[in-house]
Homo-oligomer: A and B are copies of this chain.
């Protein structure tokens, strides 16, 4: 068990109305910090008032993007208690990201207990309106004051939280997505399977282009053959094709999503054939033409499940399930959100109370 010193904020902020919240702009009163220094390891876990990070302009994170993050949520149960969803999976994935980026491994229990301790301090910030939650952003940045291109010798692990409104406040409306042919998000041998900042920086331009053309997200192709589907926006993607569930396999350039893993488990337990394999854009558009692309959806922490209503690829268009959410997508959404918010039993032991 870890005990962290807590320095309380002198004044607490007013809690915002969850109905008007914009994602990722309002933060709670405190944050969790943990330092790493070579020779000393990770040390001085503590909860302090939310506030600026003061770093020299030579800090490595500003130049060489040695930085990784996670995204997870705390949910308010009907009994008022607050719970996390598979939080150790996030901590383990953070360590996988660290390995690729040459950041020292976090002791997993220490990281998890830091996150839990912060959420416990901030539990009044977890909203209770339907679909709302507290988004938790653990991240690590390289802090060496040095311009040499090497792994940093010092790091800061920081956890911040922001309350988020219901993702589907207007109802679940399927989105239009667009196959990106030019920009590449990741390639095997690169950092695609990690949550490192560089992946996201590389993805912004294509996202802007898609938006300009009226699409909500980019459907990413692999960087080598430019034909295999990888992700949608910053979510994993799944398709129901002729009765089977098809999702890109984890080749190294695809993020091993925790929502992805949870969906695949549910789908298998429900008896669907699940195929984790290479899947081409060609195959999907052909299936759509043949009337066999039954459903398509993205999976991720923010939306849980995001139905896809239409796909564009060069001049081709593919409508999915008449542009409305399909039954498998809906069942996944209902089941996962039921477990996450504690309105349904959790037979998998995926949830963890913060207290």
Contact of A196 with B by CB under 8 A = yes
Please give, as numbers and ranges, the residues of chain B lying within 8 Å of A200 by CB-CB distance: 63-66, 149
Knowing A65-B65, A198-B197, say if A101 contacts B188 (CB, 8 Å): no
Please give, as numbers and ranges, the residues of chain B lying within 8 Å of A100 by CB-CB distance: 205
Please give, as numbers and ranges, the residues of chain B lying within 8 Å of A186 by CB-CB distance: 190
Whether the Cβ atoms of A149 and B57 lie closer than 8 Å is: no
Please give, as numbers and ranges, the residues of chain B lying within 8 Å of A22 by CB-CB distance: 148
Q: A204: shortest Cβ distance to chain B, in Å?
A: 5
Please give, as numbers and ranges, the residues of chain B lying within 8 Å of A158 by CB-CB distance: 57
Contact of A203 with B by CB under 8 A = yes
Q: A301: shortest Cβ distance to chain B, in Å?
A: 12
Most chain B CB within 10 A, of A24, A135, A233, is at A24
Contact of A234 with B by CB under 8 A = yes
A51-84 interface bits toward B, Cβ cutoff 8 Å, 1 = contact, 0 = none: 1111111110111111101000000000000000
A126-165 interface bits toward B, Cβ cutoff 8 Å, 1 = contact, 0 = none: 0000000001010101000111111100000010101000
Please give, as numbers and ranges, the residues of chain B lying within 8 Å of A202 by CB-CB distance: 190-191, 196, 198
Contact of A151 among B137, B150, B184, B204 (CB under 8 A): B204
Knowing A184-B190, A201-B198, say if A146 contacts B25 (CB, 8 Å): yes
Whether the Cβ atoms of A196 and B65 lie closer than 8 Å is: yes
For this chain, the copies found in one complex come to 2
Identify the closest chain B residue to A100 (Cβ): B205
Which of A252-301 touch B at CB < 8 Å? none
Whether the Cβ atoms of A67 and B66 lie closer than 8 Å is: no
Identify the closest chain B residue to A142 (Cβ): B201
Contact of A56 among B53, B182, B188, B224 (CB under 8 A): B53
Contact of A223 with B by CB under 8 A = yes
Q: A137: shortest Cβ distance to chain B, in Å?
A: 6
Whether the Cβ atoms of A189 and B63 lie closer than 8 Å is: no
A165-209 interface bits toward B, Cβ cutoff 8 Å, 1 = contact, 0 = none: 000000000000000001111111111000011111111110110
Identify the closest chain B residue to A68 (Cβ): B201
Contact of A31 with B by CB under 8 A = yes
Please give, as numbers and ranges, the residues of chain B lying within 8 Å of A27 by CB-CB distance: 56-58
Contact of A50 with B by CB under 8 A = yes
Most chain B CB within 10 A, of A54, A102, A141, is at A102
Contact of A201 among B53, B55, B65, B188 (CB under 8 A): B65
Q: A183: shortest Cβ distance to chain B, in Å?
A: 5
Contact of A149 among B135, B149, B182, B207 (CB under 8 A): B207
Q: What are 29 residue pairs bridging A and B, where the CB atoms are less than 8 Å apart in the complex?
A: A24-B147, A25-B145, A25-B147, A51-B56, A52-B54, A52-B55, A53-B56, A57-B160, A61-B62, A61-B197, A63-B69, A63-B139, A66-B204, A67-B201, A101-B205, A135-B147, A150-B208, A151-B204, A183-B190, A184-B188, A187-B223, A187-B224, A189-B226, A196-B198, A196-B202, A197-B201, A198-B199, A223-B224, A224-B224
Interface residues of A (CB under 8 A from B): 22-25, 27, 31, 50-59, 61-67, 69, 100-102, 135, 137, 139, 141, 145-151, 158, 160, 162, 182-191, 196-205, 207-208, 223-224, 226, 233-234
Give me 6 other A-B pairs in contact (C-beta within 8 A), A24-B146, A61-B62 excluded. Answer: A62-B141, A63-B69, A190-B202, A191-B201, A196-B201, A198-B202
